[in-house]
Structure 1
Amino acid sequence: MLKPFPYILLLFIFQCTTIGFHEKEIRENISFGKEETIRVCLFTEPDITKEEIKDLFTAWNEELSLYQLKVEPIHLQVLQRPGFWGTDILGYLMSTPLTKDCDRLVYFKGRTWGDMAFEVLTLGIFAGVGIKLEIQGAVEGQSNTRGYIKAKYQSTIQLLFTSPKSTLIHEGYHLLGCGHQLFMKDCYEKIRDVKLLLADPERDPNFFPNLTTSGKKILNRSQVLTYSNND
């Protein structure tokens, strides 16, 4: 009988690096229509470079090409972090309205001395009891239109299991309404359904739509605000 550790390790890797395991044959039998563009408005911290932004979006676009999608970055602002914790960042994003040029909001978190100290602490906890406390990114669950990633890190334990590129791809699936699943079939269907909303007569033609986790349509920015305020 196998010890439980390999199963825990597999679950940890799965949760940190992917939204689910790809099913190529199923994906290739789903029609995702023509190529469409999602405008992603971006907040970054001072230590995030233009080259890093370019590399991250290149990786994201490579993944989205599977679905005839691409993301266009619109760099709004370089700013200091609104708080240390991820919840502080999500709170800031939830209070920031989507402007007419934004379909999604993403925050690229950098790496401060405080982050480095926290990395050392979490590495010690992981080595001692096998629990990893550090979160690399998240998307709010009300409208799935805002999220952040840790875009810069160097610790061995982080790089062993994930990377900024894989984190962005992971959170990018959440920004298309996907949840977590073992295999990707449900996510493929969700992306197809989101793209079908582009033809909905009630959609704001200047907004790339989305679906909430519960399947409710988001066809315009006022609905994004409504879901954010209600939750």
Structure 2
Amino acid sequence: MFSPWISRPFFLLFAIPVFSCTTIGFHEETIRNSMAFGEEVSFRVCVIKEKGVDEEDVTTLFQAWNEELRYYHLKAEPKVLAEMERPGFYGSDILDYLLSYPMLDSCDRLLYLKGRTWGDVFFEIVTLGIFAGVGLKLEVQGAVEGKTNTKGYIKAKYISTIQLLFTSPKSTLIHEGYHLLGCGHQLWMKECYERIRDVKSLLNDPKRDPNFFPVITTSGKKILKRPI
């Protein structure tokens, strides 16, 4: 806990490098607790995982995410669709793959869980050297596509190097989970709280597909029907 005498600008100077890698913004409990998020609602997250990511990993990750979602009376229910080889080395390859992957009727969101290969280990070592040399962190732990905010991936396996100085698979899922609910990046969480509240209000929209949990994208577009 930070001492109360620390001013907000001084606090931000030292906190920004950490928060930008681990969460979507700083929580504002007073504001969050004053907002009404309605009754508890579940949404279905279909999972594609790589070899080495087992059922226990999925359970542990979703337990952490659901602890965060309790603030908003939400619950993410995982459903493993398949285990597969990675469609490409880079995160952009995974996102391209997901964009062309059809969203099944049993899915509200699509999440790819990336494992850890020897190629990843080598890349981690290289990026660690770059970070140590020039202070530039090149590794990306996860991402969500911005067209519908319904599909994304995270690194579900990393246990060493520079990664654990900043984040973990659990915090990465929480971070990308906010994007899957339509939140962008902000310094303080008020705007994100409002976005989640507004997303839940869409459950009563007569234009919504009743078999789909909606979202409002980071650009403000309402997604009321399951994307292709």
Instruction: Classify the TM-score, shorter chain.
Output: over 0.9
CA displacement 1:128-161 (0-9 Å, x = unmatched): 0000100000000111000000000012321111
What TM-score do you get using the length of structure 1 for normalisation? Answer: 0.92
State how far apart, in whole Å, the 2-side matches of 1:65 and 1:27 are: 12
- Tell me what 1:170 maps to: 175
What TM-score do you get using the length of structure 2 for normalisation? Answer: 0.93
- Tell me what 2:6 maps to: none
Instruction: Report the number of matched residues.
Output: 218
Superposition pairs of residues 1-231 of structure 1, within 5 angstroms: 10-221=15-226, 224-225=227-228
How far off is 1:7 after superposition? 7.5
How far off is 1:11 after superposition? 3.0
State how far apart, in whole Å, the 2-side matches of 1:43 and 1:158 are: 22
- Tell me what 2:8 maps to: none
Percent of aligned positions with the same letter in both sequences? 66
| RMSD of aligned alpha carbons | 1.3
**Structure 1: 4+ residue segments shifted above 2 A:** 6-12
How far off is 1:8 after superposition? 7.8
CA displacement 1:31-58 (0-9 Å, x = unmatched): 0000001100000001001111100000
- SS of the residue corresponding to residue 156 of structure 1 reads coil
Runs of 5+ in structure 2 lacking a partner?
1-10
State how far apart, in whole Å, the 2-side matches of 1:9 and 1:123 are: 21
State how far apart, in whole Å, the 1-side matches of 2:204 and 2:145 are: 25
- Tell me what 1:228 maps to: none
